[in-house]
Structure 1
Amino acid sequence: MISEAHAQALLEGRDDAELVVVEGRAHVVSADSLEREPYRGALRIVSRPDLAGPLGDIRSLSADTLAEVAGRLDATATRLGA
């Protein structure tokens, strides 16, 4: 469900970017998009600041680290019932 491309898009996105799941599909959207269809009521997985903070310099993440991040996000989404 959540791929490396989603993790990378979130990390490279705007400061208010959020990773959400709607109808079983992951999306990276701005926080203000969550107030409108089709994202109203979306399951929020993580915000960009919450993900980027612990990772440090996100510009230099290795492919392995990005894959690990995506795997953890996917596991979190599954645990949350996405």
Structure 2
Amino acid sequence: MPDANIRIPEEAKDRLAAIAAAEGLSLRAYLARLAETLLTPAERAERAERARTALREWTGYAPTATEELSLDGELDRRLAEARGR
């Protein structure tokens, strides 16, 4: 597999290299492993949809778009309240 050059700030490179070294890896190996473990936006969306489908099949719960927005708003309100404590 050919290598690629990626330009990042030196501080970021040094931090990643230190993390890699602490795990006994080269920076190259660490970044390759990191890339394998992260999901692309499309993969995250696919997993979320599969989770929603499984939950709907398991519980029968299928909120409408309006209910989801309301629940999201309630969650945002509670998180803001918790941060304010």
TM-score higher than 0.5 here? no
Q: RCO higher in 1 or 2 (8 Å CA, sep ≥ 6)?
A: 1
Largest Rg, 1 or 2: 2
**TM-score, with structure 1 as normaliser:** 0.30
**TM-score, with structure 2 as normaliser:** 0.29
Which has the larger helix fraction?
Answer: 2
